[in-house]
Amino acid sequence: MAVRPRIESPANGAIYAVDPDIPRDRQRLTLMARAAARTAVRGHWFELDDGTRLRADALQLWPPTPGRHEVVLVDAKGTELDRVRFEVRGLRRSGSGPASSH
**Domains of the chain, first to last:** 6-89 (2.60.40.10)
Q: Which pLDDT score is estimated for 99?
A: 42
Q: Which residues of the chain have pLDDT under 50?
A: 95-102
Q: Which pLDDT score is estimated for 39?
A: 64
Q: Which pLDDT score is estimated for 100?
A: 41
For the purposes of burial, counting CB atoms within 10 Å of the CB of 16, is it exposed (0-12), middle (13-18) or buried (19 or more)?
middle
Q: Which pLDDT score is estimated for 97?
A: 42
Kindly report the backbone phi and psi dihedral angles of residue 11, in degrees, each rounded to the nearest multiple of 5, phi listed first.
-75, 140
Q: Which pLDDT score is estimated for 92?
A: 56
